[in-house]
């Protein structure tokens, strides 16, 4: 069966971005000028996904409005003959989007469970807004291509530094069936480095079969007292094969403040309108910072010399 549907969970509390996320979903925070969720929707469309369900929490309105037509704005831009801006505003409206609400943020597994009726009896993709992925072939499409061959769930993974395993779901791999496609013994949520079975971490793209839903329905809360998608996938792997696809492209983690800043700078450096100014600014800032460092070092050296 062809994969046609994607689910984007966007109902988390976004506590790492408070106070910005007090009244706004973190998925609406922009990288330069585009909300992160728009990058995810674009990846889905570029992968050939036809229907997208966004699981939202209390801050649902801005997401819905973003992908809806804004006639007043469109008219104003037409009157001002701002056709470039008009194009930007209109390009978010021609998408088959559906919304459902997760009443309580009980975890990623619980958010995915809300998609049960939308998904029905089809395979589907789960895409998290925390990770922006760049590759010639979009990562979701890579998973969909794998599904065409295996008809099995496939989870995207990537090598992470060993000391970071406790931030991720980690796989215990069991050999490769082809280059970059792993059999998996088990999926472990956030293991400490001394017990982590590998450095291959689950990143924010999953291709799942609908058999995940009865598992999620009966799953007890796991790490952080939340219904964990990783735990459900580990159970699924006991009754049908679940593969892991190693991602070799570039991943931008926008889920925390530093990752978000870094991504904004990297995307700014290729943004046609601001890249030249940003390069000049960064060079100027770098010079200032290195001058400051030199002054501090020479002060420190003088104080030490006096002490001796």
Interface contacts to ligand UTP, rule CB under 6 A: 9-16, 26, 55, 102, 105-108, 110-111, 128-130, 255
* Residue placing its CB nearer to ligand UTP in the complex, 104 or 307: 104
CB of 116 to ligand UTP, least distance (A): 15
Asked whether the beta carbons of 56 and 296 are under 8 A apart, the reply is: no
Closest CB to ligand UTP among 42 and 74? 42
Distance of CA 218 to the CA centre of its chain: 26
Q: How far is the CB of 3 from ligand UTP (least distance, A)?
A: 20
Question: Closer CB to ligand UTP, residue 138 or residue 255?
Answer: 255
In sequence order, the 6+-apart residues with CB closer than 8 A to the CB of 96 are 50, 51, 52
Cis peptide before 166 (omega within 30 of 0): no
* Nearer Cβ to ligand UTP (65/280): 65
Task: Give whichever of 11 and 278 is closer to ligand UTP, judged by the CB atom.
Answer: 11
Q: Do the beta carbons of residue 273 and residue 34 sit within 8 Å?
A: no
Distance CA 58, CA 64 (A): 12
Strand residue runs (E) in the chain = 5-10, 30-31, 34-35, 51-56, 97-101, 124-127, 131-134, 153-159, 169-178, 181-189, 200-208, 242-246, 250-253
CB of 224 to ligand UTP, least distance (A): 9
Smallest gap from residue 71 Cβ to ligand UTP (A): 29
Instruction: Please report how close the Cβ of residue 223 comes to ligand UTP at its closest, in angstroms.
Output: 11
Pairing, β 131-134 against β 250-253? antiparallel
- Nearest CA to 175 out of 233, 243, 222, 238 is that of 243
CB-neighbour burial class of residue 135 (10 A; exposed 0-12, middle 13-18, buried 19+): middle
Compute the Cα dihedral for 207, 210, 215, 217 and give only its sign.
positive
Q: Nearer Cβ to ligand UTP, position 128 or 139?
A: 128
Beta-bridge partners for 184: 173
* Nearest-CB residue for ligand UTP: 12
Q: Rounded to the nearest whole angstrom, what is the least distance from the CB of residue 42 to ligand UTP in the complex?
A: 16
Q: Identify which of residues 129 and 268 has a Cβ nearer to ligand UTP in the complex.
A: 129
Cβ pair 92, 63 in contact under 8 A: no
Rounded to a whole number of angstroms, the minimum distance from the CB of residue 61 to ligand UTP is: 16
Q: Closest separation between CB of residue 36 and ligand UTP, Å?
A: 9
Q: What is the DSSP string of 73-99?
A: HHHHHHHTT-HHHHHHHHTTSSS-EEE
16 vs 34, beta carbon nearer ligand UTP: 16
């Amino acid at each position: 069966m062809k994969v046609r549907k994607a689910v984007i969970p966007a109902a988390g509390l976004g506590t790492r971005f408070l106070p910005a996320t007090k009244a706004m979903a973190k998925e609406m925070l922009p990288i330069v000028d585009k909300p992160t969720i728009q990058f995810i929707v674009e990846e889905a469309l570029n992968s050939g996904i036809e229907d997208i369900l966004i699981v939202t929490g209390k801050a649902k309105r801005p997401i819905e409005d973003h992908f809806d037509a804004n006639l007043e704005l469109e008219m104003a831009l037409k009157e001002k003959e701002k056709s470039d801006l008009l194009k930007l505003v209109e390009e978010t409206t021609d998408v088959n989007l559906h919304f459902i609400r997760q009443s309580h943020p009980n975890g990623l597994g619980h958010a995915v469970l809300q998609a049960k009726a939308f998904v029905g009896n089809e395979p589907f993709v789960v895409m998290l807004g925390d990770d922006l992925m760049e590759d010639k072939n979009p990562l979701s499409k890579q998973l969909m291509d794998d599904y065409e061959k295996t008809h099995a769930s496939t989870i995207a993974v990537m090598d992470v530094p060993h000391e970071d395993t406790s931030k991720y779901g980690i796989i215990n791999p069991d050999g490769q069936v082809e280059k970059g496609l792993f059999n998996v013994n088990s999926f472990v949520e956030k293991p400490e480095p001394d017990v982590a079975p590998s450095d291959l971490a689950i990143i924010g793209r999953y291709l799942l079969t609908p058999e995940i839903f009865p598992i999620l329905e009966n799953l007890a809360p796991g790490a952080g007292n939340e219904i964990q998608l990783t735990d459900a996938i580990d159970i699924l792997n006991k009754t049908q094969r679940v593969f892991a696809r190693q991602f070799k492209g570039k991943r931008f983690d926008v889920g925390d403040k530093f990752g978000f800043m870094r991504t904004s700078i990297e995307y700014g450096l290729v943004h046609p309108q601001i890249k030249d100014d940003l390069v000049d600014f960064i060079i100027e800032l770098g010079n200032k910072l290195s001058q400051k460092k030199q002054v501090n070092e020479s002060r420190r050296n003088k104080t030490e010399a006096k002490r001796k």
